[in-house]
Structure 1
Amino acid sequence: MEVEIRHLRAFTAVARCGSFSRAAEELSITQPALSRTVAQLEAALGVRLLERTSRRVEPTDVGEEFLHQAEGALASFDHLLATTRRQASLRLGFSWLLPAPWAQQSIKGFEKTTGASVKLIRTDDPLQALRRRTVDIAVVRGDEPPPQPLRTVRLYDETRFAVCARESPLAGRDRLDWDEVRHWPLIVNTVSGTTGPWSWPPESRPTDIVETSNYDEWVETVAANRGIGIVPETARHRSPHPALHFIALTNAPPVPVRLVYLPDGPRALIRRFVDASLEASRA
């Protein structure tokens, strides 16, 4: 049997703790599994490394020397992993306005637990960026499910707000019902927008649609009073445009916020980022 890193970690934990039960708790494994692992190591080496008594577990003379060498080997191995991981990065794509504080908490948690870094990449079409493999994972808003083979994880929902120009007749309103939106020209970001005619049943959809192809065009078209737009609440806090007025929407469905990724991407990093993101979304 070949000696593996897990055998060294098991032995050094028992020798350091002086107890199989405490070492098993430290390693988050069962005591029988830990005992088997140490026994496998001793069998592979052909020597007894630990003296077991009813009160304590202590290294033998051979075990003391082996412990010193094993701890050095593990320290070098861990240093190698940490150094290499610091060079790894995950490319996070987004089309506009990463949600706060979710994004900051997710990135901080991921980088702290992995040693890898997150590279932020702004792109008008995150799904296309995934298909072209210029990003590894993307933040996507909206109701439309991503096409295969993209995978998705739903994080949480954002409240929708209406937005109009300061000179719009709606600028004096502090509330607007979802059903009223169809009576106004609707400005839509066709590439990464979260709201469009598809957001209503066919019989009640807005018919006067003004199309834009990115967030900046959308903002300036609304500011020019060409119609009204619908955005997640994030935009209300982070788009301080002097020509815009935000209006609370009643009876509006929320906007799902999701992570989307390819199944054959860097799986370990993606999994850890998804875990950090889900934890941040519950905070």
Structure 2
Amino acid sequence: MRIALIQMTPGTERAVNIAQAQSLVAEAVREGQAELVLLPEVWSCLGGTRDVKLAASEVLPPPGEKGGELYEALRTMALEHGIWVHGGSIGERVEQEGETRLANTTLVFSPDGHEAARYRKIHLFDVVTPNGDGYRESATYVPGEEVTTVDINDVCTGLAICYDMRFAELFLALRAADVKMLLLPAAFTQQTGEAHWEVLLRARAIEMQAWVAACGTTGWYVEADGTERQTYGHSMVINPWGEVVLQLGAEPSWGVAEIDIELVEKTRQRMQVQENRRLI
């Protein structure tokens, strides 16, 4: 399977972001013969005020029904190109206790435009980074509750988003579900990206003995208070032995890697970690 990482520099203008995504996806299919594309986290609106994020979000329809602009843009990419589309993540508008909130939500569409999976980010990014920058994702977003897998071309695939990668118990649950590939969109900060992005992703691939494809945003965006923040990029694909087989740089771009699913079983037979596991 040929998988394309669609590395973007999104801002707060939803229409501009959609056009950027459509252009990069079309190039990846035309020039890279991609069969599956992976977009980054919150590519539809990065930065801005809470109201801006809410305005750029949408209520998701029941699977099989017509959705809003973002939903239909992703579904149309799948249909027009005849490919699997992992929609990174977008803002899903939800009502909780009488208040309008957001969920950080992944959508996966099959080549016939069918919604194959929906996943809400479980772990919210409420941290202060070493340089003093504060992030409080829970001020706007609600957490997901369910570990989610999807069959993509008969490959059991796990779903996670960005900060999820720091929580090994999620990936142990995905390994117990026999996932052979993990798809992870992100908007990783520049500082934590330089320190932890590659080492964490390689660790997840090694412990699951599965393919990991991680697609990040890159470049600068502006927060509600005018603070400029930089995301790391360096989207990558890692094989089940922990080797990086594709890595992008710090510019908006796309890249394609060939995923050999047979390598998963070869790796697991060579080192039978799951059979040796004693602690859950």
Instruction: Classify the TM-score, shorter chain.
Output: under 0.3
Task: Write 1 or 2 for the structure with the bigger share of strand.
Answer: 2
Instruction: Give the structure with higher Rg (CA).
Output: 1
Structure-2-length-normalised TM-score: 0.21
